[in-house]
Amino acid sequence: MLDVTPLTEGWTLRHEGAALSAAVPGCVHTDLLAAGVIADPFLGRNETEVAWVGRRDWTYDVALPATSGHEQTDLVFDGLDTAAQIRLDGQLLGSVRNMHRSYRFDVTGLGGPLSVHFTSAYGAAEAVRDRLGERPSAYPEPFPYLRKMACSFGWDWGPTLVTAGIWRPVRLEHWSTARIARVRPLVTVERGVGRVELAVDVERTRVEAGLTVEARAGGVRACGTIDGTSGTVLLEIPGPELWWPRGYGEQRLYDVELTLSDAHGPLDAWRRRIGFRTLELDRRADAHGSGFTFVVNGVRLFARGVNWIPDDALPSRITPERYRHRLRQAAAAGVDLVRVWGGGIYESEDFYDACDELGLMVWQDFPFACAAYPEEQPLRGEVEAEARENVVRLMPHPSLVLWNGNNENLWGFKDWDWERRLAGDSWGEGYYLGLLPRVVAELDPTRPYAAGSPWSGSWDHHPNDPAHGTHHSWEVWNRTDYADYRLHVPRFVAEFGWQAPPAYATLRRALPGEALAPDSPGMLHHQKADDGNGKLERGLARHFPPPEGDFDRWHYLNQVNQARAVAAGIEHWRAHWPVCAGTVLWQLNDCWPVTSWAAIDGDGRAKPLYHELRRLYADRLLTLQPRTGGLVLAAVNQSAQPWRGTVRLRRMSVEGVTTGETTLDLSAAARAVGELLVPTELRPAGPKEFLVADADGLRALHFPVPDREVPYPSPRFDVTVAPGAVTVTAHTLVRDLLLQADRLDPAAEADTGLVTLLPGERVTIGVRGWETLDERAETAARSALYCVEPTR
């Protein structure tokens, strides 16, 4: 059998005569941090102080163990970041320049010192740019000229930390006669039978040896022979249990094992988990344009999605446990689709394994984002090689539901003056409309491919036309009020979002000793968006009076505004299912502590938006929607059962007096939306009234004017503290009450986000990680509670 020797110990990092111990997998930044050579780039403005790291060359050295008695030994790198030369005992094994693929070198009979010399990614990218010519980009960094994680070079939410290193595992593989080079599993369900067609490629040392393959899954066994260097074996499993997205059924997974043998016994084995499900992306034209609806096992879905960026700016630090924790957070918020965004990476198997188990559908971008990418060599060959490898690597995962060509590049060509500036130069269209769909069709025909996001399906329509295909809604955040989300009903909203600062404890850790203010030096450094603070200020001013000089109020109100903005969009779009078939929030996570669009900040703390997602993405959602001709109550029912009940409608004054009330029958079919027109006499008139709708434990509120025009009473409420809980009892209307648990203790977490209480109502907020129960606990809890206050 094939033997594996991991190469994880004894590595040294060298630079200009200096040497220090290196961790593999890892990167230069993590090694320098561990040795105390650089300060943490996530703190203060240290990012700028470590910029020199990305401009230097670095070398990793290790003594290669003696080879075994097998016929062949391969040196295998799962990931090298990015431009490097590999030498063994002074002999050049090869040169590489792609972070997104693996490499294999025959080192049979060789030994001695192994060195991996990394050239600065800046130097490598700039050399390609100088040869092929400048291409337009959303950022001035040279990321389009090298197959490396684009956001290493900085983004409007991320630091510029240009990494280098052996970022994924490296090992020696010793084998004889033959090894399994590639297995391509085509998994389908036909007439109640699960079919697993395993296309097997092998590498041989002896062509005369007779080879067989045996596959097992679900109690079924099948055998085949290898003719030359390839063969196929088919497994048919009667009546397989299906894999479903979360909320629609169970996530049944099957272990598949394939063994390669010769006459003397087993030589190599391949093991994966698969799931059986049918998958369709319905893009047919209809009366509203052309759709973009996922259909899994025959069920049409409204996709409740989030965009995913690399969870750490130094991605070699992301552990399997961290992937699983973050994705569990997503699932707990009602998410059923995660889009792996194109400025990042193809994630590790741990990510996709967790998505398989949690029922999170994966939309996978190919790594192209916000720039014109040259199509000449050496880039074109690298793009095809990485695409072929990663399509086959990821295709066993039932969670993977879409391959997407790029992020915003087709849109950029049309709207960002690229066509004129390119003057005929290549820019990536040949990848998105030619190379990538050809690779997917050849290797993974079981999954749909989209040329980009946004994309209307063809050049017959504007790439970001909301009536066709996928749409990115950024005009609202950049220029207008979030109420404007209600002006359009896109077929599928693949990006939209609103910024807010991270949790208070995250800011305190990231900006030690700083007097926090929206424009303090550290806050500005950790705000990467173009005019980000200006957009926050203008967006806040449309709803609240400016909290001048009060950082705590500024912090709280911007977090409220973020949750309100996202709610305005999702409630409107979900209420228009099935015309709109999905929303993918920008974004779930952060890669460092920063003011951004994320629901979970760079230290892993949930913002109020995260808790709001649990309401917005629940199977059942109650929402009040202003429409032409009146106010509509929409009952959004994503569950498999009809929703029938009674809704209580109350028109109330801000003083808490009910001025009108009725009950109505509510009805929404399974996977459908039911609507009721609010009676004219119950519609709130003017700033002193609002509407409350309650049904089956769900609540919807409608205030007809912005908060800055509402004459809120001074909030009065009682606070009691018990182990693991803070209870608030309201004596007045208390709007958007929030317990910022991390102000009690940086380790504390609250299980509840923003909540509005009517007079006499109470809420108990669970708190983990805060053990103080002395006489000061109630005072501390009260100081960590925030709510909307009267206009001063």
| Residue 559 neighbours by CB under 8 Å, 6+ apart | 500, 501, 607, 608, 609, 738
- Return d(Cα 54, Cα 24) in angstroms, integer: 18
Query: What sign does the CA torsion over 448, 449, 452, 457 have?
Result: negative
β-strands 620-627, 630-637 pairing: antiparallel
- Return d(Cα 44, Cα 52) in angstroms, integer: 17
Residue type, position 361, single letter: M
DSSP 141: S
**193 to each of 220, 224, 395, 627, 636, how far by Cα in Å?**
12, 20, 19, 47, 34
What tokens appear for 360 in the block? 């999170």
Q: Where are the alpha helices (DSSP H) in 473-607?
A: 475-479, 504-510, 521-525, 532-541, 551-574
For tokens 């206050």, name the residue.
Answer: 789
CB–CB of 544/550 below 8 Å? no
What tokens appear for 185 in the block? 């599993």
Q: Closest by alpha carbon to 755, among 776, 739, 769?
A: 739
| Residue 614 neighbours by CB under 8 Å, 6+ apart | 332, 333, 334, 753
Q: Closest by alpha carbon to 260, among 220, 218, 236, 231?
A: 231
What tokens appear for 614 in the block? 């649990």
What tokens appear for 41 in the block? 């780039």
Dihedral class, residue 238 (left if φ above 0, else alpha if ψ from -120 to 50, else beta): beta
Q: Report the chain's C-alpha Rg in angstroms.
A: 28
- Return d(Cα 449, Cα 441) in angstroms, integer: 8
- Counting runs of H as helices and runs of E as strands, what totals does the chain give? 17, 44
Instruction: Please name every residue paired with 215 in a beta bridge, in sequence order, or none if there are none.
Output: 222, 258
**48 to each of 124, 445, 502, 520, how far by Cα in Å?**
21, 46, 21, 17
- Return d(Cα 711, Cα 709) in angstroms, integer: 6
CB-CB neighbours of 743 under 10 Å: 20
Gap between the terminal Cα atoms of the chain: 77
Annotation marks residue 250 as catalytic: no
**Catalytic position from the list 357, 382, 386, 408:** 408
What tokens appear for 181 in the block? 């080079």
* Longest CA span, the chain: 90
Dihedral class, residue 249 (left if φ above 0, else alpha if ψ from -120 to 50, else beta): left
DSSP E strands, 615-671 = 620-627, 630-637, 643-653, 658-668
| Residue 513 neighbours by CB under 8 Å, 6+ apart | none
Enumerate the active-site residues: 408
